[in-house]
Structure 1
């Protein structure tokens, strides 16, 4: 009897040992707070794009393979671009059907047809710079590795998956009627029979109330929905699956993930969005845009604040929210942006430039009697006596300003600026050139 009790005791100890060992092993497999935050940050970019696709297809009903020709100079959009005629489309192909994009011949003005993937990364820009031997004409959009029968004599553009977003732009250049005519000549030839999967549904969330731990609800499905070109994607995706598996082990784990997401990951992301990029003279800029390498935070911030951003070599945006003394811009004050002789913005671009003034926080244009919302290279600006160039910002025209050089601001209200540089030169891309400071007078 004693031997039996001893045997049972040893058995209990062995079982307990295995149990404790298992608990220790499970605990050692729990992700760190940093791993949870990194996994969340990685997934957020894809979720923002999925949210947009769901909104456009299921709410706005824009459809796939249909071009939306945005109204010229419309102020009904957030952060409207007054420099170009826009058109956009959600494109969808399958392994046996290509969609043919017809690009018109555009002479003497900037244009591009930008194609983007499901993470907000630029696939390519169709224009004379990237396709000098075929800058216009027919382009067959196909899934990588496929050869649909309807490609014909069109140039093949391989997409990483069945879907892509297109955003095309044509410079107005002082002749908007010609720009609109060209805008309408971007067309699609769409064969019958394309099999199109509906958008992958994701929980509703807003920029003000971001998605929480639910971002890990269906990792396999979300990650399989679109390939990621990020070099370190495999490591991040393994991390996502690790966090998702841990989250499913019980309420304690699920609550821990939720706490880390809400108390660390999201605040760190929002803090990064506020202080993002290089800052100087009241301006801020990000040189990591369109193609993000392994920078998951940069990709999130760009997707969050300006989805479908282009690559820096095609366009760089400098954002102005404060003056050179870091005081918030306000229409009750007068400001001057003065470019020294030889450093005018036109000398730093191969295409064109513009500065547009917006109201805040809605980022619409500021209504004014001149209907002037931006100043650019074809605005007929008057140089100063010393050959410098000034742009004036004020509610009423400053006495020192030529009429052409004045951008009206909202009286006693906040505003923001976007300085766009199209096809910037090397000195812009490497940070040697920066817009002149926004100085309060």
Structure 2
């Protein structure tokens, strides 16, 4: 701030609000730094993820993934060539640097241009683009794209389609390096140093959140107040540790709409003013899509009300035809470690169960999925999802192109019934 009089310190609640707002941007910036500086994937370069892996949190292993960081400037657009895909789910998800979905390119959203050339340009500019290209305006100079091609029962065909995506980028694009942010992990969150980096970080890209300007102003005031003031820095750090962190972590235990031990955020992908929902999604599942593409039911609590324990045994009993009758595309259930939300190695290399799994029904037509460190005696081999003995875990049930009962919040997954406790 300008002037000789320092700004008054915001209230504790304002510090919490500003921190939680800034945290969502920090999470995406951390991923950008990892992808560019650690993974060295490069700008405007497709990374064709091998089947069964994805170098980000909460991957869906039922699709062939490809990802890329797109960088444009006022004089240059970047073109993605999308192959024609028929008879299997696919989408090209375009996300800004806050985790907000800009567009999904597929036959549902762009029936007149579901494939072919897609040109990305900076909003408000008119660089050259290919004739007939679908033009997507980006709010900032950087965006992330993730394309998903359903494996179905023919993964080789899905991989061939995956490798058919191409990026064409002209020479001369001016690209800023990844933003400078404090080091942190999901288990060790940033403190007051987040505000030191805040104003410069927020200046890198606009935010679609309606209340963004108010939050950004708070970040600026706090950053100015703690600059060269160790006592103010310590006071802000104390508020973050005693109030902001607990508020965030409490939200991760159950957010959005909750039932049967599951939570779902119908704001995923486009968050409005829901700062906490954006934080939680960016923390536990970067690049979450909008609900018309995918609903993410997150399972964290067993039927006893306790957090899921990898040493216990659980049964999820779906009524006959569920969840297949709730989707127009496919469904999958994947198990992740906490707090890092990565797939968990296990002796049978099974990380999820999906629409293509050869599940054995119960005598009444229902289908049980069993989760335990060792296969329960009652579980058919195909119905067992191994869990990590000695640690907690989280479940993610994805419903791709969900039907009305799930979209309207009228349907929830069945309880995660405790069959036996750890040990």
- Normalising by structure 1, report the TM-score: 0.86
1:178 to 157, 169, 174: 157
2:404 to 426, 429, 436: 426
Distance 1:87 1:188 in 2: 11
1:392 to 370, 383, 405: 370
Moved more, 142-151 or 239-248: 239-248
TM superposition shift of 1:404: 3.5
User: 1:201 matched to which residue of 2?
Assistant: 180
Distance 1:172 1:437 in 2: 28
- Normalising by structure 2, report the TM-score: 0.90
Moved more, 243-252 or 109-118: 243-252
1:149 is paired with a residue of what secondary structure? coil
1:350, 1:423 within 8 Å by CA — same for their partners in 2?
yes
Does residue 1:37 correspond to 2:16, yes or no?
yes
CA 1:242–1:127 in structure 2 vs 1: closer, same or farther (change >3 Å)? Answer: same
CA 1:256–1:398 in structure 2 vs 1: closer, same or farther (change >3 Å)? Answer: closer
User: 1:351 matched to which residue of 2?
Assistant: 329
Query: When you count helix as a share of all residues, which structure comes out higher?
Result: 1
1:98, 1:151 within 8 Å by CA — same for their partners in 2?
no
CA offsets 1:175-215 (integer angstroms, 9 cap, x no match): 11011001111110111111111122122222222222222
1:280, 1:324 within 8 Å by CA — same for their partners in 2?
no
Distance 1:321 1:144 in 2: 40
2:267 to 279, 288, 295: 288
CA offsets 1:298-328 (integer angstroms, 9 cap, x no match): 1112112222111122112222233212244
Does residue 1:151 correspond to 2:133, yes or no?
no
Structure 2: runs of 5+ lacking an equivalent: none
User: 2:319 matched to which residue of 1?
Assistant: 340
1:192 is paired with a residue of what secondary structure? coil
1:279 to 243, 258, 268: 258
CA offsets 1:89-130 (integer angstroms, 9 cap, x no match): 111011111110111111111111111111111111111111
User: 2:87 matched to which residue of 1?
Assistant: 108
TM superposition shift of 1:147: 1.5
Distance 1:252 1:72 in 2: 51
Distance 1:234 1:77 in 2: 29
User: 2:351 matched to which residue of 1?
Assistant: 373
Where do 4+ consecutive residues of structure 1 move more than 6 Å?
A: none
Does residue 1:49 correspond to 2:32, yes or no?
no
Distance 1:46 1:94 in 2: 21
TM superposition shift of 1:234: 1.4
2:91, 2:106 within 8 Å by CA — same for their partners in 1?
yes
CA offsets 1:124-178 (integer angstroms, 9 cap, x no match): 1111111111111110000011121233321111000111011111111111101
Aligned residues: 416
TM superposition shift of 1:84: 0.6
1:70, 1:87 within 8 Å by CA — same for their partners in 2?
yes
1:112, 1:170 within 8 Å by CA — same for their partners in 2?
yes
CA 1:206–1:330 in structure 2 vs 1: closer, same or farther (change >3 Å)? Answer: closer
CA offsets 1:345-378 (integer angstroms, 9 cap, x no match): 0111121101123456663234234x44322212
2:372, 2:387 within 8 Å by CA — same for their partners in 1?
yes
Distance 1:297 1:284 in 2: 14
Question: Counterparts in 2 of 1:5-404, with a 5 A limit?
Answer: 29-74=8-53, 79-248=58-227, 250-330=229-309, 333-341=312-320, 344-358=322-336, 363-369=342-348, 371-395=349-373, 397-398=375-376, 400-404=378-382
Distance 1:412 1:431 in 2: 34
TM superposition shift of 1:395: 4.9
Moved more, 74-83 or 57-66: 74-83
Moved more, 280-289 or 248-257: 248-257
2:129 is paired with a residue of what secondary structure? helix
Moved more, 382-391 or 301-310: 382-391
Return the index of the structure with the highest Cα Rg: 1
1:366, 1:409 within 8 Å by CA — same for their partners in 2?
no
User: 1:7 matched to which residue of 2?
Assistant: none
CA 1:60–1:406 in structure 2 vs 1: closer, same or farther (change >3 Å)? Answer: closer
CA 1:416–1:35 in structure 2 vs 1: closer, same or farther (change >3 Å)? Answer: closer
Structure 1: runs of 5+ lacking an equivalent: 1-22
CA offsets 1:5-35 (integer angstroms, 9 cap, x no match): xxxxxxxxxxxxxxxxxx9x978x4321111
